[in-house]
Structure 1
Amino acid sequence: MRRSIDFDEDSALNQSFTWDKFMALLNQSKPQIKLLVIGFLISLVSTGFSLVIPLFTKNLVDGFSLKNMNLSFIAIIIFAFLIQALTSAISSYMMGYMGEQTVSNLRELVWHKLVNLKITYFDNHQTGEITSRLVNDTTVVKSLVADQLPSFVSGILSMIGAFVVLFLMDWKLTLVILIAVPIVALLMVPIGNWMRNISIRMQRQTAEFNSTTTQALSESRLIKASDGEQTELTRGDNGIHQLFDTGVAEAKIMAIISPIMLLAMMGILVTVIGYGGVRVQNGTLSIGTLVAFLLYLFQIIAPATQFSQFFTQLQKTKGATARLDDLLEQPVEDLTAGKTVDVAGKTLTVDNVSFSYDKENPVLQNVSFTAHPNSVVAFVGPSGSGKSTLFSLLERFYQPDNGTITIADENINTINLQSWRSQIGYVSQDSAMLVGTIRDNLTYGLTRPVSDDELWHILSLAYADQFVRDTPEALNTQVGERGVKVSGGQRQRLAIARAFLRDPKILMLDEATASLDSQSEEMVQRALNNLMKNRTTLVIAHRLSTIVDADKIFFLEHGEITGHGNHKELLEKHELYRQYVAEQFKQ
């Protein structure tokens, strides 16, 4: 059962954030340090020119006369303005490029992680929640690194430079500004903590809303067939209202931050003008110095107002970082470790295997069987008896709690996972189709080139060539999401054709004909008979008519094998199997 995110998990992730983890996350994203250093150096040049301009203004005001207004002086000021603007633009672009590339690398890192995660992670997390990590959380980090960080760096340099020049010009007037800094900081710290908590809540609710809408849109036929529109409207509306409430709470905090910053800045400005005016009147400060002081003050105020946005985004990033870090710490499948073993013509043995999903409710208990080369081994039994779970263990989606699975005395866990799965063909009751063409679906996962002649050949083996030829675009026909543009029987035959193309050594059929009508079943069964030739075949059977000729049949009840033998032997000695046969063959 998949779970949704709760407040306890939010709290745990909140507490798990550290700056070390944030820096480690950025380090994994492989930022281009050279670009950052060059951008920083150019930003220093830009800051230097921006600090020179008020000094020119000071000299201009203090010594103002028409005689002093020569072309050289004007040209110097214009040159300083142009260089400052040009270096600022170059620095901003370089650091922005570095930020975009860092986040692009982060998204690749998260995507590669998601693709290689173990099946258990997807069992326990909703699809919308997972996509929220990939899209929303990385976007939050992007906003900080690519958008806010460049302006923050240049703003810090500008503020430090301005404070140094101001202190050298008049330390008394500078102290007036510095007094306001700790006052603003004391006000901003608790607001930052509130913003962080709201950001984590917003991320959680966004993930849940994504999950709700993704599920609803992917199951549109079920919704309409079940008159479930109102139910989904209610669920969606609830998610939207939750996001609205959290967004309003965030807006309230932003509404508090902006006036505080504005009030602090205006207070500083009025104080400086008032105190400076008194000093000018007393003759202890020149008018040019006061004008320059005000220009430097604007170089401090402008970045300071942006800092509130930076720190707000920083609080949001803390929650996103905690979630991304939690995802990146999850174990993944190692596809390349182990031996490469050719399993053709080798005996598959399951010895005393037990398994449970939650350690409290066993699904399989002490299951043992042997599948010899080129034989057909079938599994029957009530729903929930563990048949599909057994196939999942053979695919190595899960690991047994006890027991071993071997191929010719080689534990399958020692075999290269990619090699192992490439030698297994799996056809399920509702074979998955991806958005794309018939050609795309047939060749999915293959790295070798496949010609059209080969595709038509395997389609003919699967009795699927005729209906594909009848479609307007043949191999280039779009199948739609989850294959909705082809019928169930056609989808099964395409799945069989896909298995043919992989040329599996071990074939697993999970009730491949259970949901088909009699005509489709007949065609699919003929295709399966072709596919089963010269392969070790494991079959989960719902319709017993498809496995009466199996070499061995195992009957599972409550995760245990309660009988085995061929069809005739089970009829003689297994009461429940005999009842199944009587019910299905009575007509």
Structure 2
Amino acid sequence: MSEHAKSGSLQIYLRLLSYVKPYSGFFALSLMGYVMFALSQPAFARLLEYFVEALEGSFATIDRDLGSFLPASIMTSVALIPIVMLSIAIFRGIGSFLGNYFLAKVSLSVVHDLRCLMFNRMIQLPNNYFDNNNSGHLIARITYNVGMVTSAATDAVKVIVREGLTVVFLFGYLILTNWKLTLVFIGVAPIIALVVSTASKRFRKLSSKIQTSMGDLTHVSSESINGYRVVRGFGGESYETSRFFNASDRNTRQGLKMVKASAVHTPTLQFLVNTALAILFFLVLWLKGDATTASLVSFVTAAALLPKPIRQLSEVNANIQKGIAAAESIFEMADQPSEPDNGTFEKETVEGKLEFRNLFFKYQNTDKPALKNINFTVNPGETIALVGRSGSGKTTLANLVPRFYPHGQGEILLDDTPIDDYSLKNLRSHIALVDQNVTLFNDTVARNIAYGDLRDKDDSDIHLAAEAAHANEFIKNMAQGMNTLVGEDGVLLSGGQRQRLAIARAILKDAPILILDEATSALDTESERHIQAALDEVMKNRTTLVIAHRLSTIENADRIIVMDKGEIAESGTHSELLAREGHYAKLHQMQFQEEQEEAIEVIPLASSQPLQH
């Protein structure tokens, strides 16, 4: 691994550990517990020395270690060594509980903080970020990647602290007992370090690939679930199954590579440690010297206790690298700049005058501008309709008013103040939006109407908004009325019903500026007639931008702006634009012909039914 990669990994891990700081008290308790646990290991090795000496009829070592703490009558008792053994076991058990419980408390709190950090960051990210990143990968970061961080923050730290301290204390005991023989283990240490370093790079690389493949898996699943009607309606089952199989297969292969790397790494380290242990046993038998049998048994026992913690330390490296790779993706998202909000100007109410001056806009990663040289003014209470072919820039223009995207060259002014000067929250509080793609939440009808800042509205206001949107006629037939759950994204409702709830939400907001983006697109003719009457009422005394596909719905607008290829082609009233015989007149004629053809097609269909006598 390069020095840059090492420093990068260290920085990420230190940043991850910085989230432990608020829980340092709990961490100190867990550390104390693991110190107790680790001390019990050499204590057991020392206990064997006491036992072997006792078999030989000597109590010299135990008297030297514990004679000043225990009464003389107990020192020669047969029960002494069993009592010491039970005491060590209780001491170890208390340490294990303190270490495991308080470290789990710290790590789960850190994971909770990271999840909240990511979710808070996600809802503050600009629209461009969501345009360029699919939802599956974003969800995988909050679920799967955070799970990987858990293993780094919990299991890895637990093993590093507990087993690391065990190794340190056992080595310390070995050095104090026989430092010459201990040098055999120290000689193997550089080789172990080289193996660990080589494996780390491999683990990190594989972990990143596993996370990417898990994101692909989540993305395919999410798309198939959300679009299940299209999947079934167009026979896409086999295609989606194939996509899922391929994504799952990639994830499985990457996971197996990780297991294979770990499976080679651990035995290699074990072999090195056992080689050192074998040499040690040889030297003990060959160079016994003047050491007692009891001290050599104790030394060999302590040495034999070393391979297990060393093996666990070698295995934890894979978890650490997974955690670092996961933390890297989490921090990449956390470091994304929030939606720009440098405005400080706030107004309790606005008149609703909108002005577009020399406005240009283009989406990220595209060269062609979506809007060019847009100039027009909407006076307070005026209704302006935006019409044009698909892709002409109508919705893009509407999205710039609430600053869903930062516009480039030019200005948009609200009450003669540039919208960039307003704080985002204040600006959006003056705008109600009904989108062509209605978003509903898996909650009650009432909570979907009174959503967000509207959640404290009175029930009477919610009912009035529903009535004004002609939604009461279907709400009253629901099992629990306003308290009926609508399902995920309103799946239990028809398109027209969903649209009416979105309109009710906009009515309840009672904002001075109303943006209707194909607000009646999901309605049948009869529902549209009702809704259009409701919208005509709602639009009174409000500045309204209406994006409409059906030109018949905007004939009464104060002004109609026709857009073409991101530019304003013409503007005027319905009658003025028809008289000009330009873009609008052509659009109107095309729609009129389409409606006529549809009407003619219905007549033979109706006449083909057998007559009843």
TM-score (norm 1): 0.93
In structure 1, the residue matched to 2:453 is: 446
Following TM superposition, by how much is the alpha carbon of 1:415 offset from its aligned partner in structure 2, in angstroms? Answer: 0.8
Pairs within 5 Å for 1:224-239:
224-239=232-247
What is the rounded CA distance, in whole Å, between the counterparts of 2:294 and 2:324 in structure 1? Answer: 45
User: Counterpart in 2 of 1:417?
Assistant: 424
User: How far did residue 493 of structure 1 move?
Assistant: 1.0
- What per-residue deviation string (whole Å, max 9, x for no partner) do you get for residues 135-180 of structure 1? 1111111101112212210211111111111111101211122222
**Aligned-pair RMSD on alpha carbons?**
2.2
Question: Hey, what does 1:104 align to over in structure 2?
Answer: 112
- 1:371, 1:343 → 2: CA distance? 17
Question: Which whole-Å CA distance do the structure 2 matches of 1:379 and 1:115 have between them?
Answer: 30
The answer as to whether partners of 1:97 and 1:146 remain within 8 angstroms in 2 is no
Write the mapping of 1:445-464 to structure 2, written as runs, cut at 5 A: 445-446=452-453, 448-464=455-471
**C-alpha displacement at 1:401, in angstroms?**
1.4
**Cα distance in 1, alignment partners of residues 432 and 394 from structure 2:** 17
| Equivalent residues of 1:553, 1:567 under 8 A apart | yes
Q: Does 1:341 align with 2:332?
A: no
Aligned match of 1:427 = 434
CA distance in 2, matches of 1:363, 1:321: 37
For residue 351 of structure 1, report the CA deviation from its aligned partner. Answer: 0.8
Q: Which runs of 5+ in 2 are unaligned?
A: 59-75, 597-613
Q: Distance in 1 between matches of 2:215 and 2:591?
A: 46
The aligned residue for residue 244 of structure 1 is 252
Letter in 1 for 2:51: L
- Identify if the C-alpha distance between structure 1 residues 14 and 507 changes in structure 2 by more than 3 Å, giving closer, same or farther: farther
Distance 1:258 1:19 in 2: 23
**Equivalent in the alignment of 2:188:** 180
CA distance, structure 2, for counterparts of residue 406 and residue 444 of structure 1: 27
Q: Which residue of 2 aligns with 1:118?
A: 126
Specify every segment of 5 or more residues in structure 1 that has no aligned partner in the other structure, as ranges. Answer: 1-10
Instruction: Find the counterpart in structure 2 of residue 516 from structure 1.
Output: 523
Matched residue, 1:318: 324
**Contact 1:279–1:285 (8 Å) recurs in 2:** no
Q: Identity across aligned pairs (percent)?
A: 30
- Offset from partner CA, 1:349-389 (integer Å, 9 cap, x none): 11111001135111000111111111101101111000000
Q: What does the per-residue CA deviation read over 1:314-372, in whole Å, with 9 as the maximum and x for residues that have no partner?
A: 12223212212211111112669522213532411111110011351110001111111
Task: Look up the match of 1:288.
Answer: 294
Q: Any conservation in 2 of the 1:374–1:535 contact (CA below 8 Å)? A: yes
TM-score w.r.t. the length of structure 2 is 0.89
SS in 2 for 1:504: coil
| Distance of 2:171 and 2:6 partners within structure 1 | 36
Separation (CA, whole Å) in 1 of partners of 2:302 and 2:252: 41
Instruction: Report the counterpart of residue 609 of structure 2 in structure 1.
Output: none
In the alignment, does 2:41 pair up with 1:34?
A: no
Match of 2:287, as an amino acid?
R
Residues 1:552 and 2:549 are matched in the alignment: no
Q: Of residues 332, 351, 358 in structure 2, which corresponds to 1:352?
A: 358
Alignment of 1:483 with 2:474, yes or no, is: no
Q: Alignment partner of 2:345: what SS?
A: coil
- Partners of 1:434 and 1:484 in 2: how far apart? 10
Q: Find the counterpart in structure 2 of residue 57 from structure 1.
A: 48
C-alpha distance in 2 between matches for 1:537 and 1:316:
52
- Which amino acid is the alignment partner of residue 189 of structure 2? V
Equivalent positions of 1:457-472 (< 5 A) are: 457-472=464-479
1:371 lines up with 2:362 in the alignment = no
C-alpha separation in 2, matches of 1:555 and 1:504: 26
Give per-residue Cα distances to partners, 1:93-114, cap 9 Å, x unaligned.
2122111211211111111111
Q: Quick one: which amino acid aligns to residue 142 of structure 2?
A: L
Residue 43 (structure 1) aligns with? 34
Residues 1:277 and 2:268 aligned together: no
The one-letter amino acid of 1:276's match is: V
Q: Following the alignment from structure 1 to structure 2, what is the Cα–Cα distance between the partners of residues 15 and 513?
A: 58
Cα separation, partners in 2 of 1:541 and 1:505, compared to 1, 3 Å: same
Per-residue deviation, 1:301: 2.0
Determine helix, strand or coil for the equivalent of 1:402. Answer: coil
Q: Which residue is 1:533 aligned to?
A: 540
> Is contact 2:387-2:547 (8 Å) kept?
yes
Q: Residues 32 and 97 of structure 1: is their aligned pair in 2 closer, same or farther, counting only changes over 3 Å?
A: same
Q: Is the 8 A contact 2:51 2:81 kept in 1?
A: no
CA distance in 2, matches of 1:241, 1:359: 34
Give the Cα separation in 2 of the matches to 1:354 and 1:254: 55
Q: Specify the alignment match of 1:6 in structure 2.
A: none
Contact 2:466 2:501 in 1 (8 A): yes
Structure 1, 71-80 or 239-248: larger mean CA deviation: 71-80
Which 4+ stretches in 1 moved above 4 angstroms? 13-16, 28-31, 65-69, 334-337
Alignment partner, residue 309 of structure 2: 303
